[in-house]
Structure 1
């Protein structure tokens, strides 16, 4: 089913929105380069701090949220450069106030989730106002809804609505993009079997991620159509009817390392974020016209060591993931889990955030039989310090590097299809390793 712009009746009328677009200022004439919406939250404040420390001089930035007093408190805690940043007040469901914010800036960053609950209006008004937008969502049902409601509208206004610009799903999407670029440069054919391996990772669990998971589980347990949509490997594709039939593509594979690459030892366990990241990467391939190839098969796993016990550990990880999801779906066990899981807005100490890290390797075999690997590696807690960097640099690339952006134009896009090499350049400048080579 192809994407269409079909907002709910409660949302802005698409025709009147398009009429209004012609009266908007061009992006270069707008008051702000970037607005951080949700700046009073844990990740929002980290993103604002990152921008205060790393945005180029002359970048115009504002902070937004629903409480002026909390925004003032957040601003006081930022580096002195942010002392004069304007404060903009808007609730997540205040369409008029959010439209005003979107009309005044080139790019909106939002960290306000769960996005299915708090993100729909902001994404829609940005699409209507021709305003670029980035978020941190890992919610497949929200991303699907946003694509259906906003893609055509954003394409007509030129807005780049780029979901998933944090650890969900920049390393995956950019890692595969860098891999493809190297294969294409070498003339080595298309990507075929491609597997992301989380080689090492250290960091905390985000309360916001847990809250988003709660919402997704609630929706798929009460709505059979939503459950079927979430389970489809092409649930985020722009037109699922033309996707290739490549057979079963499991979100929870247990894989022998040597089957990925002859030098990999041990067995690999399912990666908890695979069920979302894989769909983002497949959407990228479709949006760009299938440059990775029509036989591109993609999965994500994580290392559990190379000892003889690795297959047992991998099986235990799979069982644990299943038990966790089942526990979240069953009210009595959810009540107990909620007592111990991190709450939205909670986060680790600065010391813990700085000690975090991740290394991700993406392996492929090409249609010519050659093997390649890309690496995405960064310091900082993946869900906090590294995510603030990825989100901030995504917004800066959209605001400041417009001539270097992919030529797809507007729409509901992905990090690789909407920002692409401009994001890779910025992330490398921020200290992230992004490389690819033949092996």
Structure 2
């Protein structure tokens, strides 16, 4: 593609947007053509001054999420648009349409099932026609989940060990905070969930598995629960105690299932997927904590949907554009492990581990490397277009980029 830029960072004046721009300034190969975009040229210039000297000549583009013409013009100038402007249900619809129409690859940080469903319904056909890769969920939600399952599938296939069956991601260790953008997305989804049709979509475990206008009908019990505690021994014999539900399971699981659907069910006829987090290996204590997390998650989501309780929560929860200082971001980390048993009876585990606050520093690395993969490694990418997931769009290219960025990304047999 003959475009003026390789990557445009849209939303560069936001907290995570600036972190992503800083990562690209420090780690993008020399000669990578990058621009910063947002509503205010003055604020963009201030961000550019705070970046490393490598970014001093980066062009600035004024574009507004509510101005389709400005988004069209921006997308026509770049190979990849990397957007941190959320909640995406409020601010992302025009951009995803613009990118698909222009044949521009697109990466975002959404954790919103209804937005991804919108992208599938409204942009997938167009993107397939223009060759655009529209790749949602390129941060902590949902790269560890999606790549973890993909690595298992790849290793099991290489070993000739059958197909995946019950598969569980366990967040085994984490230090960090939920980002203000994630919390704001929860606010928007809580409002949307008051609509009966949206509630049905949110409760559908296969909400993202179909093509445009084709949301598969799947009962809530057709896949493991997103909010129930899990006996760790049923996940893998090496684990102890009770596992708590993972807060973002209701989104991440849909992305992983979409990857399986886009691969025509290659993970296996008996593939079922859930996400949990470790809360200790002491049986009684971990069961108590896991139960409290399960109940607390339901209470929190309910409280976010009620105006009086939301006002109280808004005083204490992080707001969009806010985040931890550099010291706290550097002190963070995460470890995810994904376990499965195959149809031949073999056990496998994949793992992703990285330093840095998951929702901020690690996410800026994952988003930045996703953008670079699409812009600079086009000849190595899978031959796919449309509305895709990280593993389907980038596969091994993203795995190798994350490893080069210091992530531990691996999969192997346990027996």
Same fold (TM over 0.5): yes
Checking the alignment, whether the CA contact within 8 Å between 2:207 and 2:215 is kept in structure 1 is no
Instruction: Quote the offset at 1:179 in angstroms.
Output: 1.0
User: Cα deviations across residues 76-101 of structure 1 (Å, max 9, x unaligned)?
Assistant: 00000100000000111111111111
SS in 2 for 1:58: coil
Q: Does 1:247 align with 2:219?
A: no
Instruction: Quote the offset at 1:293 in angstroms.
Output: 1.2
User: Cα deviations across residues 163-188 of structure 1 (Å, max 9, x unaligned)?
Assistant: 00000100000011111111111000
In the TM superposition, 1:92-111 aligns within 5 A as 92-111=65-84
In the TM superposition, 1:134-145 aligns within 5 A as 134-145=107-118
User: Cα deviations across residues 290-330 of structure 1 (Å, max 9, x unaligned)?
Assistant: 11012110000000001231101100111111111111111
SS in 2 for 1:348: coil
Q: Does 1:351 align with 2:327?
A: yes
SS in 2 for 1:249: coil
Checking the alignment, whether the CA contact within 8 Å between 1:270 and 1:314 is kept in structure 2 is yes
User: Cα deviations across residues 267-294 of structure 1 (Å, max 9, x unaligned)?
Assistant: 1000001000000000000111111012
SS in 2 for 1:295: coil
RMSD across aligned C-alpha pairs, in angstroms? Answer: 1.2
| Whole-angstrom distance in 2 between the partners of 1:107 and 1:126 | 9
List structure 1 runs of 4+ shifted beyond 4 angstroms.
239-246
TM-score, structure 2 length as denominator? 0.97
SS in 2 for 1:301: strand
Q: Which residue of 1 aligns with 2:10?
A: 37
Gaps of 5+ in 2: none
Checking the alignment, whether the CA contact within 8 Å between 2:209 and 2:215 is kept in structure 1 is no
In the TM superposition, 1:368-383 aligns within 5 A as 368-383=344-359
| Whole-angstrom distance in 1 between the partners of 2:397 and 2:298 | 38
Checking the alignment, whether the CA contact within 8 Å between 1:244 and 1:295 is kept in structure 2 is no
SS in 2 for 1:309: helix
Number of aligned residue pairs: 410
Q: Which residue of 1 aligns with 2:339?
A: 363
| Whole-angstrom distance in 2 between the partners of 1:122 and 1:248 | 32
Instruction: Quote the offset at 1:404 in angstroms.
Output: 1.4
| Whole-angstrom distance in 1 between the partners of 2:249 and 2:404 | 27
Instruction: Quote the offset at 1:252 in angstroms.
Output: 1.2
Gaps of 5+ in 1: 1-26
| Whole-angstrom distance in 1 between the partners of 2:243 and 2:89 | 32
SS in 1 for 2:8: strand
| Whole-angstrom distance in 1 between the partners of 2:230 and 2:302 | 23
TM-score, structure 1 length as denominator? 0.92
Q: Does 1:211 align with 2:211?
A: no
Q: Does 1:312 align with 2:288?
A: yes
Q: Which residue of 2 aligns with 1:70?
A: 43
Q: Does 1:271 align with 2:246?
A: yes
| Whole-angstrom distance in 2 between the partners of 1:37 and 1:355 | 27
Counterpart pick for 1:429 among 377, 389, 404: 404
Checking the alignment, whether the CA contact within 8 Å between 2:223 and 2:273 is kept in structure 1 is no
| Whole-angstrom distance in 2 between the partners of 1:292 and 1:175 | 12
Q: Which residue of 2 aligns with 1:303?
A: 278
SS in 1 for 2:244: strand
Checking the alignment, whether the CA contact within 8 Å between 1:244 and 1:294 is kept in structure 2 is no
SS in 2 for 1:423: helix
Counterpart pick for 2:303 among 322, 327, 331: 327
SS in 2 for 1:419: helix
